[in-house]
Structure 1
Amino acid sequence: MPKDHPFADRWNHNTQQYPRVAELIADCPLVLDVGCGEGTLARHLADLGHQVVGIDPDPDVLPTDGESTHFMIGDVTGLPFADASFDAVVSVMVLHQTRLELALVEMRRVLRPGGLLVDIGYARNKGLGEKLRSAADIPQNLIAKIGTTSWEPDTIKMDALLGWAETREAIQGILPGATWQRLPGWRYLSVWRNN
């Protein structure tokens, strides 16, 4: 990770990907950040000119609202928004902690036509192939950490139950045409356009 990365002082495997999320949704004015936690991604997107609504089930971590951010208690499996409300929906490390299929249906429901759903997550290593692929992330991870300060927010964390292939199949089953790729740092990226 370059030292000029915007999250070099708050580095983890999620913040490492926040600039990529921002790049993907650059043309989406109104964004829903599901599972927003303490709001780091939401504030980053707001600083880039987006209006962001962050929703999380844990009231203890939700920050106060900002000029371009609004935070509220809620669950991704029952979003309290009308259909087609947002230009983009982003989620980072959410799907493995909830009912994946219902969460995807809800995120898809609140997305406007032409809107973008961006999901970054992880999965359990199942089988030798997945274990070898994850082992390949170790050297890259060590290099990426150089010049950074590790940071872990005090948010709920759960282990994934589904494997990488199972997660991809589940996402693409609910969101036909969604792209899916492994990222460095034991993460995947899935992107779906609501056409």
Structure 2
Amino acid sequence: MTNLRHRLLQALHRFNAAHPWDHNAHYHPWILRQLPRRFGRALDVGCGSGDLARLLAVRAAEVYGIDADPEIVDRARELTPAGSSTAPVTYTVANALDGGPGGSYDVITCVAVLHHLPLSEALAGFRGQLRPGGTLVVVGLAREETLGDHLLGLASVPANLAMGWVKSRGRTVPRPVSMTAVTRPAETSFGDIVREARRELPGARLRRRLFWRYTLVWRRA
């Protein structure tokens, strides 16, 4: 069984290399649907090359993107046009636990970053930076532990193949990656994340998702 799983994962990696697509960017439209049509300050934690930050700028008054990788922050600045009709976007090289330079925020987003951080400390930090009435949206990775986790992971395989095929049709040049940092496997199970999130963020809504992701939405009273 282990050998079969290993061969399937290798085949999946080969297919993804031939038909690349961004699992995190796939959730950007979903993230926007969790947010008000207009809001003030927004912070994107682990902004990568700024794809989500630029989407937030369409609705926000100000957007701040932080990332620990200086090269990817430079790339985000290059890709973000100055003087456009959207809100200004400020990119800063910073550790996610340091918080953003703008003080407090009406919106905080965090995509595929939380599993790199001490969970309790990060969630408490987000809570402290969020203004009353503000919204925190997380798309994260969790370690597969339960039968439900493994079944959803298996269901993600054919869905991943289909999405890769559809998104790569007619594309001759691979899409630029949105981050350069090495991604490490998640060590915390979804159950543990749920328990910690509900302790730090009472009323938070969490859900397992396809493509080896989970989502968290919390609105501060």
Fold similarity call, TM over 0.5: yes
Q: Deviations over 1:20-42 (max 9, x none)?
A: 11121233232100111121111
Give the match for residue 165 of structure 1: 191
Structure 1 position 12 matched with structure 2 position 27: no
How far off its partner does 1:192 sit?
A: 0.3
1:104: Cα distance to partner?
A: 1.0
Instruction: Report the counterpart of residue 160 of structure 2 in structure 1.
Output: 141
Using the aligned pairs only, state the percent identity. Answer: 34
Alpha carbons of 1:10 and 1:30: their partners in 2 closer, same or farther (altered >3 Å)? farther
Runs of 4+ displaced beyond 6 Å: none
| 1:35 and 2:35 correspond | no
Counterpart contact for 1:121–1:189, Cα < 8 Å: yes
3-state DSSP of counterpart to 2:144? coil
- Tell me, in whole angstroms, the C-alpha distance in 1 between the residues paired with 2:127 and 2:96: 11
Question: Could you state the TM-score of these two structures normalised by the residue count of structure 2?
Answer: 0.76
What one-letter code is carried by the residue in structure 1 that aligns with 2:98? G
State the partner residue of 1:74: 94
Distance 1:93 1:107 in 2: 15
Task: List gaps (5 residues or longer) in structure 2.
Answer: 1-18, 169-173
Aligned length: 185
Q: Which runs of 5+ in 1 are unaligned?
A: 1-8
The letter of the residue matching 2:190 is W
> Does structure 1 retain, via aligned residues, the 8 Å contact 2:50–2:178?
no
Root mean square deviation, CA, Å: 2.1
Greater helix fraction, Structure 1 or Structure 2: 2
Q: Which amino acid aligns with 1:184?
A: L
Q: Distance in 2 between matches of 1:86 and 1:10?
A: 33
Alignment correspondent of 1:88:
107
Partner residue, 2:3: none
Superposition pairs of residues 101-120 of structure 1, within 5 angstroms:
101-120=120-139
Match in the other structure for 2:33: 23
TM-score by length of 1: 0.85
Partners of 1:35 and 1:54 within 8 A in 2: yes
Q: Which has the larger Rg?
A: 2
